[in-house]
Structure 1
Amino acid sequence: MRTAKTISITLPPDMLSLAQACAEREHRTMSELFREALRRYMAGDGEWDALLSRTRARGAALGMRNEADVERLSDEFRQARRK
């Protein structure tokens, strides 16, 4: 008994060509390629959200408000590390 269901997706021609080339290069079927892409996409959301939450909280605790603050702290860290 088959446990998988067949679905149909629509891709622009250039994306299809890239996907086919990727599948061929990795010796995968298109189904394997898309299953792996979907697994990574679904698993990544929670991890990314958790990372953003942690880094935003840490940034706020350090008083960082914008990218200039990040750059300044990065420069300070690198200078201290060189000494």
Structure 2
Amino acid sequence: MRSTRTLSVTLPPEMLKRAHALAKRESRTMSELIREALRRYEQRSWWDEANAYGRQRAESRGIREQDVDRLIHAVRRGTRKAAKK
């Protein structure tokens, strides 16, 4: 059994032209280019979800964006009491 499958994708002509140019410039096949784009998309999506979760947790604890640097430095110094201000 094959370890890969074929996928047909439609792109607007100008996007296809840019994709071919990018693949050529990067010395990659179109398949490699699309696989890398998907990996990066998945990675970005994961980080976006992690950031949203962190933002939600911070908001539920009353932590504002401007508090974050102070809290990080306090925890790194080991002064957790300072972090609770």
TM-score normalized with structure 2 length:
0.62
Structure 1 stretches (4+) deviating beyond 3 angstroms?
A: 55-60
Partner of 1:9: 9
Alignment partner of 2:4: what SS?
coil
Q: CA deviation at 1:56?
A: 5.2
- Structure 2: unaligned runs, 5 residues or longer: 67-85
The alignment covers a number of residue pairs equal to 65
Deviation string 1:33-80 (CA, Å, 9 cap, x unpaired) is 001101111222111111233245446522x6xxxxxxxx6xxxxxxx
Q: Percent identity?
A: 45
Q: Aligned equivalents of 1:55 and 1:19: distance in 2?
A: 35
- Structure 1: unaligned runs, 5 residues or longer: 65-72, 74-83
Residue 36, structure 1, aligned to residue 33, structure 2: no
Instruction: Output the aligned Cα RMSD.
Output: 2.3
TM-score normalized with structure 1 length:
0.63
Counterpart AA for 1:43: Q
Q: Of residues 21, 36, 61 in structure 1, which corresponds to 2:63?
A: 61
